[in-house]
Amino acid sequence: MKKAIKAGRLIVNGEKTTTATWITPGQILELVVDPTNKPKVFEFNLEVIFEDEHIAAINKPAGITVSGNSFKTIANALAYNLKESNELDALLKPTPVHRLDNQTSGILLIAKTKTAQIELGKQFNNQSIQKKYSTIVIGEVLNNSIINSPIENKPSETSFEIAQVIKSLTYRELSYLQVSPKTGRTHQIRIHMASIGHPILGDKLYGNKETIHQGKGLFLCASEIKLLHPKTFKPLVLKIQIPNKFTSLLAREKRRWNTYNV
State the catalytic residues.
101
Distance CA 137, CA 179 (A): 11
Q: Are 75 and 44 in contact (CB under 8 A)?
A: no
Neighbours of 77 (CB within 10 A): 22
Please, which residues bridge with residue 137 across strands?
175, 200
Angle at 102 between CA 163 and CA 196, to 5 degrees: 45
From CA 54, how far away is CA 232, in angstroms rounded? 10
Q: Is the Cβ–Cβ distance between 21 and 12 less than 8 Å?
A: yes
Write out the DSSP string of 62-109: TTS-SSSSSSSSHHHHHHHHSPPP-STTEEEEEEESS---TT-EEEEE
Residue by residue, DSSP assigns 127-145 as: T-SEEEEEEEEES---S-E
Q: From the centroid of its chain, how far is CA 144?
A: 24
What CA–CA distance (Å, rounded) separates 39 from 58?
A: 19
